[in-house]
Amino acid sequence: MDTTKICKVCFEPIQLNSFHNLTNNLCICYSCIKQMNPIFKSFEIDKVKALAIYHYNDYLKKLIFQYKGCLDYELKDIFITPYINELKILYKNYYMLVVPSSKEKIKERGFNHCLEMFKPLGLKTIEPIEKIKDEKQSDKTYLERLKVKENLILVDKEIIKNKKILIVDDICTTGSTLKAVINLLKEADVKKMKILVIAKRDFTKKELKQLEDPSFVLN
Ligand SMILES: [Zn+2]
């Protein structure tokens, strides 16, 4: 039986030559993983421990766009599966909270892009927070983004009580949405919170300055 697997990004055969890729059920080759630049960077948002798997580079940006912008659903597993065993250990017994997208956006796309990306973690998902009005983040200035919390509401306090919650998102840019989620969770008796993102975008001094300009549109 031919068990050769093909990389979902470059379509080359994946070399199954180590214990690591046999156990992690890889669907992306080492060369492509390397280009995504895994860094496992720890950071904090409002004192909540966060982890970014990859560095935000052009290659990753392109793949994310291909997945969520061009609706290439097949790419959903490539981001998490290279490190799935390690991540499963790290977040054992956590409940997963996907940063809410608007219902309209999910309907338009046909899938919840963030949920699908993190599904391989095998965690139970909970939806205590809903987004009430859709506003495209990238069309907003930095200052407008900070107001995003007004669009999120805590609809179920009971479901998060005494639970360990893993908040997941694709890209952390300003962190304002994550902050809003954290603040809402703080209203309930959550046992513990952690954050996992695919990548964290860091800004240069010049970009930070641009963000202060109300007319500046981030892309
Ligand atoms: Zn590849």
Q: Please report, as a single letter, which amino acid is at residue 42.
A: S
Cα 36 to averaged position of ligand 1 atoms, centre (Å): 11
Strands 13-14 and 152-154, sheet pairing: unpaired
Q: How far apart are CA 87 and CA 72, in angstroms?
A: 24
Cα 212 to averaged position of ligand 1 atoms, centre (Å): 39
Global confidence as pTM? 0.86
Cα 123 to averaged position of ligand 1 atoms, centre (Å): 27
For the domain spanning 37-211, the CATH number is 3.40.50
Cα 99 to averaged position of ligand 1 atoms, centre (Å): 29
Among residues 149, 158, 148, the alpha carbon closest in space to that of 127 is found at: 158
pLDDT in tens, 56-101: 999 999 999 999 999 999 999 999 999 999 999 999 999 999 998 8
pLDDT in tens, 157-166: 899 999 999 9
So where are the chain's domains? 37-211
Among residues 106, 113, 121, the alpha carbon closest in space to that of 170 is found at: 113
Q: Which two tokens stand for residue 36?
A: 């995504």
- The set of residues, in sequence order, having a beta carbon less than 8 Å from that of 136 and lying 6+ positions away, is none
Cα 157 to averaged position of ligand 1 atoms, centre (Å): 43
Cα 105 to averaged position of ligand 1 atoms, centre (Å): 29
